[in-house]
């Protein structure tokens, strides 16, 4: 159910994105930061799902608030003549890598444990047959 | 439980729509924007561009100035050359007029000497007339369109008058350019004047004043104007 929702959402989103007019180049910097923040939230959500402590409210609020905060900080940095968006990029991308690492580890461990279990079961079966 | 799941699916779908839409829009923006264009360039790039253009502009304007200076120099040279040319042309024109190599026009008088039944016009009459005219300030003289120049000879060979070694016959039309008053009064002095003197000898002489006389250039086929023996004296 959730997978279908994700796929349909992606397709509709792509269609909308292709059909809306292009954003002025001046604002595309803000949008890029917002996208990175949102992606970070998405990976965070996946990680928390795997850890079984996924909370819908936290995910949605993180998704929007992080994006808006990133845009606001970038704007502030522009006003202060400091490239704050670099800090935002570093933080979000760093977290994304962390989350990706967690996801990878989860699946690798799952795979290995499956193999071990299979091996153990095989051994047990063999022992039973020998008896 | 099921309601919760539906809500969650819808929410995640909405999030996905938003994220992917924004992302694809951003992709399109980045793809379609010409980064080298002035409108989209970043501030620092613009600054460097302005700086480089400024240097180029300064270099070019300097070159322009140099070139303009050169052009001015050439122009000055040209004008000085032109002045020289004009001066030389003027001098040449004056000299040509002086030696009779150009057609000239101006006020003056026309004297017609005609043979009549009793007396014929002789070469001496013409010579005397020319002398008188020169005395009275004639600037250009021609007899039957034979220009009188400084090398002109008036001689009689076999009863025909030759001017510039060409035959002339009666009537002799003498065109003179000069001050009309001087010329006419010099010729028509009572008794001692040329006209009176020769009319009393029975010769036919007519004089008319003309405002605009044209005297042709010396154009005889004989090279009277070529010097074979005389050379310019070297200054010491």
Cβ distance of A4 and B15 shorter than 8 Å = no
Whether the pTM exceeds 0.80: the reply is no
Phi first, then psi, for residue B104 (nearest 5°) are -130, 150
Average pLDDT value for chain B: 85
Cβ distance of A13 and B24 shorter than 8 Å = yes
Q: How confident is the model at residue B165 (pLDDT cuts 50, 70, 90)?
A: confident
Q: Is the pLDDT of residue B222 over 70?
A: no
Residue range A7-13: mean pLDDT, rounded: 88
Q: What is the pLDDT of residues B90-133, one digit of tens each?
A: 999 888 888 888 888 999 999 998 888 888 888 888 888 888 88
- State the Cα–Cα distance between residues B15 and A10, nearest whole angstrom: 9
In the prediction, which pLDDT does B136 show? 87
In the prediction, which pLDDT does B37 show? 67
Q: How much is the ipTM here?
A: 0.76
In the prediction, which pLDDT does B39 show? 66
Are B29 and A38 a contacting pair, CB within 8 Å?
Answer: no
Q: Is the pLDDT of residue A26 over 80?
A: no
Q: Is the pLDDT of residue B223 over 70?
A: no
Nearest CA in chain B to A3: B9
Q: Which helix (H) or strand (E) holds B62?
A: helix B43-99
Domains located in chain B, CATH noted? 104-215 (3.30.70.1880)
Candidates B3, B5, B8, B23: best to mutate against A (most CBs of A within 10 A) is B23
Nearest to A42 by CA among A17, A28, A60, A69: A60
Cβ distance of A2 and B21 shorter than 8 Å = no
* In chain A, domain spans: 28-130
In the prediction, which pLDDT does B1 show? 58
Q: What is the pLDDT of residues B23-76, one digit of tens each?
A: 888 888 877 776 666 666 677 788 898 999 999 999 999 999 999 999 999 999
Q: Is the pLDDT of residue A129 over 70?
A: yes
Is B1's Cβ below 8 Å from some Cβ in A? Answer: no
Helix ranges (DSSP H) in B116-179: 123-135
In the prediction, which pLDDT does B129 show? 87
Candidates A10, A13, A36: best to mutate against B (most CBs of B within 10 A) is A13
Residue range A116-120: mean pLDDT, rounded: 91
In the prediction, which pLDDT does B40 show? 65
Q: Is the pLDDT of residue B89 over 80?
A: yes
Q: Which residues of B61-77 are buried (b: 16+ CB within 10 A; e: fewer)?
A: eeeeeeeeeeeeeeeee
């Amino acid at each position: 159910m959730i997978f279908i929702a994700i796929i349909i959402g992606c397709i509709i989103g792509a269609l909308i994105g292709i059909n809306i007019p292009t954003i002025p180049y001046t604002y595309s910097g803000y949008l890029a930061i917002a996208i990175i923040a949102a992606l970070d939230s998405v990976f965070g959500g996946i990680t928390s799902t795997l850890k079984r402590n996924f909370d819908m409210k936290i995910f949605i609020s993180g998704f929007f608030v992080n994006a808006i905060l990133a845009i606001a900080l970038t704007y502030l940095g522009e006003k202060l003549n400091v490239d704050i968006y670099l800090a935002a990029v570093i933080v979000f991308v760093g977290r994304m890598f962390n989350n990706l690492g967690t996801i990878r580890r989860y699946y690798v461990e799952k795979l290995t444990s499956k193999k071990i279990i299979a091996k153990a079961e095989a051994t047990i079966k063999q022992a039973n047959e020998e008896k | 439980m099921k309601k919760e799941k539906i809500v969650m699916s819808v929410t995640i779908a909405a999030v996905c729509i938003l994220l992917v839409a924004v992302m694809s829009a951003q992709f399109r923006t980045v793809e379609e924007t010409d980064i080298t264009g002035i409108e989209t360039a970043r501030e620092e790039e613009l600054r460097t561009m302005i700086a480089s253009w400024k240097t180029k502009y300064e270099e070019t304007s300097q070159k322009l100035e140099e070139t303009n200076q050169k052009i001015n120099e050439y122009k000055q040279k040209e004008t000085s050359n032109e002045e020289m040319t004009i001066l030389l042309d003027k001098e040449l024109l004056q000299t040509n007029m002086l030696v009779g190599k150009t057609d000239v026009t101006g006020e003056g008088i026309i004297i017609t000497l005609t043979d009549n039944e009793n007396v014929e016009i002789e070469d001496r009459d013409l010579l005397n007339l020319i002398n008188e005219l020169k005395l009275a300030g004639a600037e250009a003289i021609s007899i039957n369109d034979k220009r009188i120049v400084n090398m002109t000879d008036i001689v009689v060979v076999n009863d025909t008058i030759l001017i510039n070694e060409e035959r002339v016959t009666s009537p002799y039309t003498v065109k003179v350019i000069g001050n009309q008053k001087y010329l006419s009064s010099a010729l028509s002095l009572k008794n001692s004047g040329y006209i009176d003197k020769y009319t009393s000898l029975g010769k036919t002489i007519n004089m008319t004043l003309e405002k605009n006389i044209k005297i042709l250039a010396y154009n005889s086929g004989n090279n009277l104007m070529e010097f074979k023996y005389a050379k310019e004296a070297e200054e010491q």
